[in-house]
Structure 1
Amino acid sequence: MSNPVPSAPAHTPAPSALRVENLGLQIGGATILKDVDLDVAPGSLVGVIGPNGAGKTTLFNIVSGIMTPTAGRVLMNGEDITTMSVPARARAGLGRTFQTSSLFPKLSVLENVRLAAQVAVGRDYSLFHFPSRAGGAKKDAATQRALHNLDEVGLTHKLLTPAGDISHGDKRKLEIAVLLAMDSKIVLLDEPMAGVASGDVTGLVDNIRELQERTGCTVLMVEHHIDVLMGLVEKVAVMYFGSIIAFDSPAEIMANPLVQSAYLGTAA
């Protein structure tokens, strides 16, 4: 009698890169977010749109740990991070940019990225002794990493320029280099095109696409430039009055009557 062929083990799907479940936020008597559910697959590029006041930045603030929800939870790669601190989330691989620059304006372009690289290479206090000349940079791991990341975004020609003196578009590129240096696995970009000159938009879009393709990271991007967003992302979440009313491909979102009436037809 032959032995039975063992059945194949059941396939366990990989956890979502980022998942928010029944997320809510109330401040005083005001409901800011209500029953927000979002499931983002690993390695995807997702856009988040909605009129001003819809809750987009509040959602990012909760995911990044700046704000604490009054209901629901946030999971990163299957782990509940709802109460995790901002630094702990950064160490776990969650990176974030803001509508206004969070760079150190008096430090050079290289120094900004080099500080971020320390998160990835470890805490060696000697790394705080910055070289006065790029050519004489100490060949430590943080410097090497920073130089590589700046080359990836096309800013090697401005290594010694103070971050506060570069153009707005270059600041956005510098912020992406910082995220690369930190080895962020999940990246939240809050209106990266805001204030960027039209001539710099294409280069910045290429940087974002290359960031996702080269590293395989998961990107969530709030953006009011709908034409730019729809040509970049794989899926779009639409927020309206603190809730997500649609989550689909760009083509389906543009054809959705609810989205058209709630947002696309009225947005400035």
Structure 2
Amino acid sequence: MSTPVPPAPRRGSRLQVESLGLQIGGATILKDVRIDIAAGSLVGVIGPNGAGKTTLFNVISGLVKPTTGRVLLDDRDITAASVPARARAGLGRTFQTSSIFPRLSVLENVRLAAQVSLGGSGSLLRFPRRTDAATELALEKLRVVGLDHKHASAAGDISHGDKRKLEIAVLLATEASIVLLDEPMAGVASGDVAGLVDNIRDLHREKGCTVLMVEHHIDVLMGLVDRVAVMYFGSIIAYDVPQKIMDDPLVQSAYLGTAAA
């Protein structure tokens, strides 16, 4: 039997959100959200607390169904698709709180993703041999994020910053063509931020994937992304290159709480 080889990285996917709206109990959470993100872009999403950033991610990733509008991945309508179907289509996601398996080792967390990526089982009950292709792929991705020396540690025992790096290693081991990062710097010690920024750049460059990230560290985000989308009261009020966003009077007013909804 021939040894499976790692899949060739997908090119980044184009993401389109068209007239997206979400109402819950009569309250408007998202209102006519429109954005077209080019394949291979690295885009930041900013806005005051409660602007709808994480909710937008939840709708794009399929955790929440919108009231109106559509989500398209490479011109294919995925609005009604399940979360697993979106993952198979190439959509990856991290959350504000860590979503790793804390009782498994660092290596085993990445190895599970590598198994699925190579066409194998994602079962926790079927661990591959130490020398198989999935293990080699997992170790390679752990080296990329600088966690190979902690491969045997329980994932729940490593630092918060390392948990974020581990999540990125998991994404690197998948075939994701578009990745949603929800506050990847949240709770990360200042000394770990630069390394995590490098990991996000590696995720973007190595895989050629599209990256969409919510981040409150504005100074970090502005030096990392190609374009910035600004959310305010459930709508996107600006979408442009970082410098133009920083100079936009409407954006400045929104952060001061004086812009119109």
State TM-score, norm by structure 2.
0.91
Equivalent residue, structure 2, for 1:197: 189
Alignment of 1:182 onto 2:174: yes
Alignment of 1:101 with 2:101, yes or no, is no
Offset at residue 130 of structure 1 (A): 3.5
- How far is the alpha carbon of 1:125 from its aligned partner? 7.3
Runs of at least 5 residues in structure 1 that lack an aligned partner in the other structure: 1-13, 132-136
Give TM-score, length-normalised by structure 1: 0.89
- Residue 144 of structure 1: how far off its partner (Å): 1.5
Q: 1:246 aligns with which of 231, 238, 242?
A: 238
RMSD: 1.9
1:232 matched to 2:224: yes
The structure 1 residue matched to 2:134, chosen from 127, 134, 142, is: 142
- Partner residue in 2 for 1:19: 16
Q: Distance in 2 between matches of 1:139 and 1:116?
A: 16
Q: Provide the identity percentage.
A: 74
For residue 8 of structure 1, what is the aligned residue in structure 2? none
* 2:200 matches 1:208: yes
Q: Once the two structures are superposed, what CA deviation does each residue of 1:171-191 show, in whole Å capped at 9, x if it has no partner?
A: 000000010111211000000
Residue aligned with 1:69, SS:
coil
Alignment size in residue pairs: 248
The one-letter code of the counterpart of 2:156 is: G
Q: Could you tell me whether the CA contact under 8 Å between 2:13 and 2:177 is conserved in 1? A: no
The answer for unaligned runs of 5 or more in structure 2 is 1-10
* Matched residue, 1:28: 25
From the superposition, tell whether residues 20 and 192 of structure 1 become closer, same or farther in structure 2 (CA, over 3 Å): same
1:64 and 2:61 aligned: yes
Amino acid in structure 2 at the alignment position of 1:250: P
Name the aligned partner's letter for residue 21 of structure 1. Answer: E
1:213 alignment partner, SS class? helix
Cα deviation for residue 128 of structure 1 reads 4.1
**Deviations, residues 174-219 of structure 1 (Å, cap 9, x unaligned):** 0000101112110000000000000000000011011101111000
Over alpha carbons, which structure has the higher Rg?
Answer: 1
For residues 238 and 213 of structure 1, do their structure 2 counterparts lie closer, same or farther at Cα, with a shift above 3 Å needed?
Answer: same
2:177–2:210 CA contact under 8 A, matched in 1: yes
Name the residue aligned to 1:74.
71
